Amino acid sequence: MFLRRYSSLLLRPWSRRLSGLCCPLAEQRSLLRLRGPNTATFLQGLITNDAQRLREGAVYSHLLNVQGRSLFDVILYRFPSEQAELNDVLLECDVSAVEPIQAHLKVYNLRKKIDIQPCPELSVWAVISSQKSQDPPARKLPAPALLCGPDPRVAVMGWRLVAQSGEDVAEIVPDAQMGSYKDYCRHRYEHGVPEGASDIQPGVALPLESNLVYMNGISFSKGCYLGQELTARTHHTGVIRKRLTPVRLSSPLPREIQGPEIVTAAGKAAGKYKAGIEDLGLALLRLAHINEELLIKVDSQGPVSVTASAPEWWPKTSDS
* Residue 13 confidence (pLDDT): 34
pLDDT in tens, 68-126: 999 999 999 998 764 667 899 999 999 999 999 999 999 998 777 899 999 999 999 99
In the predicted structure, residue 262 carries a pLDDT above the cut 60: yes
Verify that 186 and 247 share a domain, yes or no. no
Residues 165 and 264 in one domain: no
Q: pLDDT confidence of 232, banded at 50, 70, 90?
A: confident
Task: Among 153, 171, 190, give the residue marking a domain's end.
Answer: 190
User: How far are the Cα atoms of 108, 189, 266, 303 from residue 124, in angstroms, in the given order?
Assistant: 27, 19, 45, 38
pLDDT at 236: 81
**pLDDT attached to residue 83:** 60
The answer to whether residues 39 and 109 belong to one domain is: yes
285 assigned to some structural domain: yes
Instruction: Please indicate whether residue 191 or residue 169 has the higher confidence score (pLDDT).
Output: 191
How confident is the model at residue 14, as a pLDDT?
A: 33
253 and 124, same domain (yes or no): no
Which of 7-16, 170-179, 239-248 shows the highest mean pLDDT?
239-248
Question: Average pLDDT in the 249-270 region?
Answer: 91
More confident residue, 199 or 166: 199
Shared-domain flag, residues 22 and 168: yes
Same structural domain, 258 and 180: no
The residue-averaged pLDDT of 219-241 equals: 89
- Long-range contacts of the stretch 296-299 (C-beta < 8 A, 24+): 296/249, 296/253, 296/257, 296/260, 296/261, 296/262, 296/263, 297/260, 297/261, 297/263, 298/253, 298/254, 298/257, 298/260
Q: Domain holding 114: CATH number?
A: 3.30.1360.120
pLDDT at 320: 43
Q: Are 274 and 139 members of one domain?
A: no
Instruction: Say if residue 169 is in the same domain as residue 39.
Output: yes
Whether 88 is covered by a domain: the verdict is: yes
What's the pLDDT at 145?
Answer: 62
Give the residue from 170, 190, 210 where a domain finishes: 190
Beta carbons of 281 and 273 less than 8 angstroms apart:
yes
pLDDT value for 173: 80
User: Are 135 and 257 in the same domain?
Assistant: no
| Residue 260 pLDDT greater than 80, yes or no | yes
Is residue 126 located within the same domain as residue 16?
yes
Q: What are phi and psi of 96, to 5 degrees?
A: -70, -15
- Domain stops at, among 190, 211, 232: 190
Calpha distance 229→232 (Å, rounded): 5
What is the number of structural domains in the chain? 2
Average pLDDT value for residue range 232-259: 89
Interval 52-65: pLDDT, tens: 999 999 999 999 99
What's the residue count for the chain?
A: 320
pLDDT tens digits along 124-166: 999 997 655 445 544 444 455 678 889 999 999 999 999 999 8
Q: What is residue 130's predicted lDDT score, i.e. its pLDDT?
A: 61
Q: Which domain holds residue 105?
A: 4-190
For residue 61, the tally of other CB atoms under 10 A from its CB is 28
| d(C-alpha 55, C-alpha 112), whole Å | 21
Instruction: Write the CATH number for 297.
Output: 2.40.30.110
Rounded average pLDDT over 10-30: 70
Return the closest-CA partner of residue 260 out of 290, 310, 204, 299: 299
**Is the residue at 207 inside a domain?**
no
**303 lies in a domain?**
yes
What average pLDDT is seen over the chain? 87
218 located within any domain: no
Section 156-179 average pLDDT = 86
pLDDT score, position 7: 37
Q: Is residue 29 part of a domain?
A: yes
The CA-to-CA distance between both ends of the chain, in Å, stands at: 45
User: 2 pLDDT exceeds 80?
Assistant: no
More confident: 3 or 264:
264
196-222 mean pLDDT:
96
Same domain, 160 and 294: no
Per-residue confidence band for 20, with pLDDT thresholds at 50, 70 and 90? confident
Give domain status of residue 223, yes or no. no
Is 302 a domain residue? Answer: yes
The pLDDT assigned to 17 comes to 59
Residues 13 and 122 in one domain: yes
pLDDT of residue 256: 78
